[in-house]
Structure 1
Amino acid sequence: MKTKIALITGGYTEEAAVSFKSSAFVHSKLDTERYEVYPISIMRDQWFYVNDAGVKFDVNRHDFSLSIDDHQITFDLAFIVLHGSPGEDGRLQGYFDMIGLPYTSCDALTSALTMNKGYTKAVLAGIPQLYLADSVLLFAADRLTAVQQVKDKLALPFFVKPNAGGSSIGMTKVKALDELEAAIAKAYDAAHTGQQVLVEEFIEGREFSRGIFRNLAGDLVVLPATEVKTSREFFDYEAKYIPGLTEEITPADLTEEQDALSTRIIKDVYHKLNCRGMVRVDFFLQKETGRFYFIEINTTPGQTAQSFIPQQVRAFGMTETDFYSQIIETALLTSKTKSEE
């Protein structure tokens, strides 16, 4: 009997469009000999599945089941490919924990923590040879004094971003102080990001992204790095999703020492944040020093054909089909092991 997979997509933020593209790619690569896949869209007003004939079926939120032709469909696993809330901030994970449905991503606590960029940096402080840019975390109550707080504590240029946002939505690189107020307002006002803003000093260097996952044998596997070179001011939303604006080099040109350093640090990050499944860590190698500066961690990374993780999987010598099977089977094994404890 095939394993029934709920492929979770959609979402409550502007990243929903990316989620649909990611889930469509994952669906096309899943092993249909092993898995019976039901794409489930999670939207604010409705949770639903649409069959091949275009008929829509609502999800029963009591147990996350479907009723199709008088048959109740329940799932063995939720494969979460939903960027932003509620699939990346721990809300959906908490719900699945309560109803007892295993899932592929980090748990509720880790997902909630890593969605908060400022809190994540606080947890990661102290990892050997991991550097963190000086920053100011602004809450809703700081809005009137935000500009002065940043001026008092940081040196230009700055990156200003929603503290709980994704896909670089609401993010600005500030090179002059007269640009700061507008940039902070833009970050505060980004939809569904929690009215918190993170301002960081700019680190000049080469930008990289690198995936990591735990395989079925229980080993942590760090994928080949991708170097990001963009014609934009920084790797913003347009650079990420408009073809031709960014050059992505996979595998990246790293020395043996740089490769070993980033591999070790990324494993430390995965351990310290208690991650599960596949995640992606973005970082700078500072131009003058070669130091590893953490940018952010993505616990539900993009999964289109052009996304970093699929690029890195191919560079690693693995097919996406085999990779996703590893993610699914490891999640199922982890769930079985916990239920037997």
Structure 2
Amino acid sequence: MKKIAIVMGGYSSEYEISLKSGNVVYDYLDKSRYRGYRIHIFKDKWVYVDDSNQEFPIDKGDFSVTVNGEKIEFDAVFNAIHGTPGEDGLLQAYFELLGIPQNSCDYYQAALTFNKRDLLSVLKPYGIKTATSFYLNKGDHIDTSEIVKKVGLPCFVKPNKSGSSFGISKVKTEAELPIAIEVAYKEDNEIIIESFLDGTEVSVGVINYQGEIIVLPITEIVSENDFFDYEAKYLGKSQEITPARISEELAEKVRSTAKRAYEVLKMKGFSRSEFILVNGEPHMLEMNTIPGLTTESLIPQQARAAGITLEELFTNAIELALAGK
């Protein structure tokens, strides 16, 4: 029976969501094929947590754990850490150095997709449309009139490397910009300010399933709030409609754009891309490579709509990792 380390937690504001995702993976793992181990990774400790919530420290030298005198080494890692260090390439590089297979994309793709402005810059030459953007690094002079001149109002102020909508503000007046910038700087030292795209928001997963790159059914996002923020994502303040209520012609544009981005970036594992549909054209906002995996999350919703159970989804991810794909 293969020993699978399910890593969860992380160093960012998303750690609680990651713990939920990791526990869902643990619960739905095929127990006839795999022995799952819940590994909590935090800045102050890396530990294996058993079913009685007893903690055993991880040896970072070889990513092993000793339990009651027995040294346990893992056959593969299932990465469920949203944000750093699981989604930005750090753990991917660590496991590659140790020679331990893991289910997410490689370290370069993780680092690139986690950086919104670099991701969009790489994809633009391939004809993938995006919002108009303005970039700031912490310490840069802030000229609000220059920002408004480029991106217009309303606009969105976002941390460049963050997820789950932490630190994002919708700005309606120039006077609100400095406050929104400070909020974003609490999450990251780089900021992306984007023009408001007035259209339908959709999210779509792309995965390698049984050796074939497939696009999952598209989800339409209808937020009760100003945008798809933390409350809308996790506290029920939105409708998530799968499949999306869009024309087949537009759905095909979304599918082909999402798949093209996956292939251009030489992705592996899961991806979930967000788009705003404006005048019949998908505009990409971002790509997530460690998307939420709670039972209510978008990728599990889309998998169910495609007839794929959570057990099948997780088994496929682990088997591809073990096969080096």
Normalised by the size of structure 1, how large is the TM-score?
Answer: 0.93
Matched, 1:229 2:222: yes
How big is the shift at 1:84?
A: 0.7
Task: Report what 2:195 is aligned to.
Answer: 201
Residue 209 of structure 2 is aligned with which of 215, 220, 223? 215
How big is the shift at 1:149?
A: 3.7
Task: Report what 2:105 is aligned to.
Answer: 106
- Is this contact kept in 2: 1:210–1:280, CA < 8 A? yes
Aligned amino acid, residue 264 of structure 2: K
Task: Report what 1:339 is aligned to.
Answer: none
5+ residue gaps, structure 2, are none
Residue 296 of structure 2 is aligned with which of 299, 303, 306? 306
- Is this contact kept in 1: 2:11–2:42, CA < 8 A? yes
2:125 match: secondary structure = coil
1:125 match: secondary structure = helix
1:87 match: secondary structure = coil
Task: Report what 1:11 is aligned to.
Answer: 10
CA distance in 1, matches of 2:92, 2:5: 13
Task: Report what 1:168 is aligned to.
Answer: 165
Note the alpha carbon deviations across 1:34-59, whole angstroms, 9 max, x for none: 01000100000000012123321000
| RMSD (Å) for aligned C-alpha atoms | 1.2
- Is this contact kept in 1: 2:197–2:276, CA < 8 A? yes
- Is this contact kept in 2: 1:168–1:236, CA < 8 A? yes
Task: Report what 1:285 is aligned to.
Answer: 277
Task: Report what 2:181 is aligned to.
Answer: 184
Note the alpha carbon deviations across 1:76-117, whole angstroms, 9 max, x for none: 111000011100111111111111111111111111111110
Task: Report what 1:239 is aligned to.
Answer: 232
Task: Report what 1:71 is aligned to.
Answer: 70
Q: Which stretch has the larger CA shift, 132-141 or 222-231?
A: 132-141
2:295 match: secondary structure = coil
Task: Report what 1:84 is aligned to.
Answer: 83
CA distance in 1, matches of 2:20, 2:53: 18
How big is the shift at 1:13?
A: 1.1
1:39 match: secondary structure = strand
Note the alpha carbon deviations across 1:263-288, whole angstroms, 9 max, x for none: 111111001222110110110111xx
Task: Report what 2:138 is aligned to.
Answer: 140
Aligned amino acid, residue 291 of structure 2: P
How big is the shift at 1:148?
A: 4.2
- Is this contact kept in 1: 2:145–2:174, CA < 8 A? no
The count of aligned residue pairs is 325
CA distance in 1, matches of 2:323, 2:207: 14
- Is this contact kept in 2: 1:91–1:108, CA < 8 A? yes
2:59 match: secondary structure = coil
Task: Report what 1:338 is aligned to.
Answer: none
CA distance in 2, matches of 1:101, 1:62: 12
CA distance in 1, matches of 2:151, 2:195: 6
Task: Report what 2:153 is aligned to.
Answer: 156
Matched, 1:330 2:323: no
How big is the shift at 1:324?
A: 1.0
1:168 match: secondary structure = coil
Given the superposition, is the C-alpha separation of residues 277 and 106 from structure 1 closer, same or farther in structure 2, using an over 3 Å criterion? same
CA distance in 1, matches of 2:139, 2:118: 17
CA distance in 1, matches of 2:90, 2:288: 16
Note the alpha carbon deviations across 1:161-191, whole angstroms, 9 max, x for none: 000011110000011111111111111122x
CA distance in 2, matches of 1:314, 1:215: 14
- Is this contact kept in 1: 2:250–2:281, CA < 8 A? no
How big is the shift at 1:153?
A: 1.9
Residue 320 of structure 1 is aligned with which of 305, 310, 314? 310
- Is this contact kept in 1: 2:7–2:79, CA < 8 A? yes
CA distance in 2, matches of 1:20, 1:181: 33
CA distance in 2, matches of 1:236, 1:146: 26
Runs of 4+ more than 3 Å apart: none
CA distance in 2, matches of 1:175, 1:53: 50
Aligned amino acid, residue 293 of structure 2: Q
Note the alpha carbon deviations across 1:184-238, whole angstroms, 9 max, x for none: 1111122xx2x0000000000000011110123x210100011010110101111
